[in-house]
Amino acid sequence: MESSNANKTSVVALIVSILPIFTLIPVLLQITLSDGVRLVWVVFNMICVLLGFVLSIIGIRRSERKGHMEKVPMWISSFWMLMVVGILAIALISNLPAAGA
């Protein structure tokens, strides 16, 4: 029963980790979104990235065997987390005042 729960957690983590890719649909279709809709998309993406990362960690820790079904969501979630951390780092560095100013 424990393995079944871990497998379900990994499947949910995989689905949640793939959801941020749907943000590219308006870009590919060249649809312009309003500021409010873009804000909702950003919040949705952040929630999906964090939730997918947490669920993939839970799925790996619960599982007795570490198969591909447990590792794939972790790799996808780690990629998204690295992207988020990189974007935040660039935003913080670009907004720092110049040393000589």
Buried b (16+ CB within 10 A) or exposed e, 10-33: bebbbebbebbeeeeeeeeeeeee
Residue 99, domain member (yes or no): no
At 2, the pLDDT band (50, 70, 90 cuts) reads: low
pLDDT at 100: 54
28 found inside a domain? yes
- Domain encompassing residue 12: 2-94
pLDDT tens for each residue of 34-86? 999 889 988 998 898 899 889 888 888 877 777 777 788 888 888 988 998 99
In the chain, how many domains are there?
1
Q: Is residue 101 part of a domain?
A: no
Global pTM? 0.76
